[in-house]
Amino acid sequence: MNDDWSLRPHPRLRPRPGPLVLVILDGVGLGRDDEGNAVRWARTPTLDDLVARRPWLELRAHGTAVGMPSDADMGNSEVGHNALGAGRVFDQGAKLVTGAIAGGTLFAGETWRWIVGPAVAEGTPLHFIGLLSDGNVHSHIEHLFALLRRAAADGVRQLYVHPLLDGRDVPETSALRYVEALEAVLRELEAGGPGRRCRIASGGGRMKVTMDRYEADWRIVERGWKAHVRGEGRAFASAREAIETYRREQPGIIDQDLPEFVIHEGGRPVGPIRDGHGVVFFNFRGDRAIEISRAFEEEPFDRFPRGPRPDVRYAGMMQYDGDTHRPARFLVSPPAIERTLGELLARGGVPQLALAETQKFGHVTYFWNGNRTGMFDERCERYVEVPSDRVPFEQRPWMKAAEVTDRALEELASGRWRFVRINYANGDMVGHTGILPAAEIAVETVDLCLARLRRAVRAAGGTLVVTADHGNADEMYEWNAKRGDFDRDAAGKPKAKTAHTLNPVVFAIEDPAADDAPAPEPLAPFGVAGRAPATRRGPDWELDPTVAQPGLSHVANTLLALLGYEPLSLYDPPLVRPR
């Protein structure tokens, strides 16, 4: 094991002459064999063959294995790609924020005093914008409640919340549960002292309002800006009225797709954001927080007609982009992730390509590199983004998988790249819609593309590694573990699930040099968990059965070994060993 942080040739393993290609099947997990598993029901001959004839095993992709507070917490694309690229587990945003609140360090910090002090001294409002749920992927409602209670205890008299409704990391029509809990806290705080005014001011569904990412659709941020800042948008007397009205007008709409709304009292918006106010964006995850932060801070700004930018004190729960230092002020320091695999390979001059469509482009670049935006060395790196469509994912579940594959084949034919990482977004983005037939098409699309890619990697003399960052499409219905059955609606139909799963993911290696080894015993089709891994050996390596509880963080050192480099002691142990 290499104790240094540098590339050293492996003493016993020799790489294939062609590229090592890592494919991340975003949101494709190994779930129960039931009617809600789109991965199981999809026609996937390529994936079936990979797990039937190649060395593979299951990886943990949730909970403490990716830095979340507990094993009851889902994994997500952010922490999954962090673990894949960093080679070890870092405490992630949810855990860091929970600890900072519980230990009081958040409230003792300079940023909290900076944003709360003037609100107390001058009686100006303090606004909170963010995702309102307990999904613990982008935010947690208890974090918001802690901030509100402490602000009131510190003497802030005007508190306004601009909730973004989830229905993606939590049940798809659960918004009223969280709104009612928030309103109860606001009433409690308003009754706690004279002159207090605590209100919900504006909001909307997360996929329609404010929470765009990777500049896929700035109109989403514009809608939020108009509602939160200007107080422009359809008026309602309460958030409940807004939610119930939209549901009545658009039967079947789920929380993440609800349009923007603005709460009015006396014919006027109750809480637009004005000069001198304080604003906290309370999400801890960065990808869907960067653009709204830019709208509050960036000059010049040309992404949409912003109008006069109010002179506010703006802070994020965390700093969402360490390279651009966005936002400039933040309440909790993000995990300091350094010495990632991407940086190591760049330092060693290894040519590497990262490729994905817009929806996951930042995952194979920014998150893979430890929350770092730019390249480490442009001379040996290329990042390719295939623009995503701006249509609902269930309407085009194939998304841009074919175009991603076309570009991948073009790049492989060039012979330039030694390491290639590709993300197929379909399983996650379509899985989040909660529409089972669309998710099946999404998985089948990826399987078709994987077949094309597989042939190209073989032709190039390379090695193919297939894994995922977390599950999603493998559970499209809400499962009630106590009853051992699906939760059902009034008509007896299973309720759709739009959140990630707690299921493991596949890790499979296809090395053409292994084709002469004896075939393993047949395995069940892809998508059924609980199987023993295949025992087929590669030419000079085999899966290492001594690795305890293998997870995503073990992948980086595995890739190093397959590239012919000695694994680093800094990273979690590799999943392969010399024969």
Per-residue confidence (pLDDT) for residue 531, from 0 to 100 = 38
Task: Confirm if 260 and 234 have CB atoms less than 8 A apart.
Answer: yes
Residue type, 68: M
**What was the pLDDT predicted at 213?**
92
Query: Can you list the residues of the chain whose pLDDT is less than 70?
Result: 514-539
Write down the pLDDT at residue 334. Answer: 84
436-459 and 401-414 helices cross at what angle (nearest 10)? Answer: 10
Q: What pLDDT score does 295 carry?
A: 98
- Asked if 64 and 71 count as a contact pair (C-beta separation under 8 A), the reply is yes
Three-state SS string over 195-248 comes to CCEEEECEEEECCCCCCCCCCCCHHHHHHHHHHHHHCCCCEECCHHHHHHHHHH
Task: Report which of 199, 181, 188, 214 is spatially closest to residue 77, judged by C-alpha positions.
Answer: 214
Q: Which pLDDT score, from 0 to 100, does residue 336 have? A: 86
Helix, strand or coil, per DSSP, at residue 82 = helix
**pLDDT value, residue 539:** 61
Distance CA 415, CA 433 (A): 38
Q: Distance of alpha carbon 501 from its chain centroid, rounded?
A: 13
List residues with catalytic annotation. Answer: 77
Burial of residue 121, with CB atoms counted within 10 A of its CB: 0-12 exposed, 13-18 middle, 19 or more buried: exposed
CB 181 within 8 A of CB 242: no
> Which tokens hold the place of 18?
């062609």
- pLDDT, position 528: 44
CB 8 within 8 A of CB 556: no
* Residue 102: its H or E element: helix 93-103
Domains of the chain as residue ranges with CATH: 20-90+336-578 (3.40.720.10), 94-332 (3.40.1450.10)
* 8-state DSSP, 518: P
pLDDT digits (tens, 9 = 90+) for 68-118: 988 988 999 999 999 999 999 999 999 999 999 999 999 999 999 999 999
What does the pLDDT read at residue 486?
A: 93
Taking only the tens place, the pLDDT of each residue in 145-155 is: 999 999 999 99
| Closest listed residue to residue 497, CA positions, set 434, 547, 551, 559 | 434
pLDDT tens, residue by residue, 501-543: 999 999 999 988 765 444 444 444 554 443 334 444 446 899 9
pTM of the model: 0.86
The pLDDT score that the predictor gives to residue 422 is 98
What span, in angstroms and rounded, lies between the C-alpha atoms of 141 and 130? 9
